[in-house]
Chains A and B, each alone.
Chain A
Amino acid sequence: EDQVTQSPEALRLQEGESSSLNCSYTVSGLRGLFWYRQDPGKGPEFLFTLYSAGEEKEKERLKATLTKKESFLHITAPKPEDSATYLCAVQTIYNTDKLIFGTGTRLQVFP
């Protein structure tokens, strides 16, 4: 069964304290892995798509990386406005219509 697991469930950081969020996946054939940011009461906001192992993408303080088993979202020198829930989702080659979501990491950054 295709599965996505995110860790940790929750993360509290001091402003400027860099860290990484993990997304582990078990799928029959990966087509793409997606990262989203979700603020309370809002829909998920698209961040990145990664397609192959070794690929990296960056946006401001965020960098996403991909291996054959997992993805990391690195947050460098976070600010309080980075506080949100970060979701990853996978798309398989057998059902490109469907995204399988993890349960998310709730990030809180304190000044």
Chain B
Amino acid sequence: SAVISQKPSRDICQRGTSLTIQCQVDSQVTMMFWYRQQPGQSLTLIATANQGSEATYESGFVIDKFPISRPNLTFSTLTVSNMSPEDSSIYLCSVVPGQNWEQFFGPGTRLTVL
């Protein structure tokens, strides 16, 4: 498994602003993912962030809205840009630390946009 931390744990933001969420892992991992969980909904993959390459975005998510950085094997950031109330969600990072494809999740960042 892996120990994953996220900052901030929660935030309340004004529409039109941007928020950067940090994800830190206690071990080096190649594969890191960002998910969104809207209120009462399940998890939807935003993008895959592998170190040394550009993030790969899922259908419906674009880099201008959700830019991702992956500067090393233990850290990544997701920015939610030009926020609107529809962006209010929990944002989660996850990692695959081993060879068996089991994903482990961070505690999440609860974002509220007013």
Contacts and interface: CB of A to CB of B under 8 A. Distances in A.
Chain B interface mostly helix, strand, loop or mixed?
strand
Interface residues of B, number: 24
Interface in B2-43: 4, 31, 33, 41-43
Contacts of B102: 34, 46, 49
B42 A87 contact: yes
Nearest to A91: B101
Given A87-B42, A87-B43, A99-B45, A42 B103 contact: no
A76 interface: no
B75 interface: no
Chain A interface mostly helix, strand, loop or mixed?
strand
B101 A43 contact: no
Contacts of B43: 44, 87, 89, 99, 101
Interface of A: 31-32, 34, 36, 41-46, 49, 87, 89, 91, 96-99, 101-104
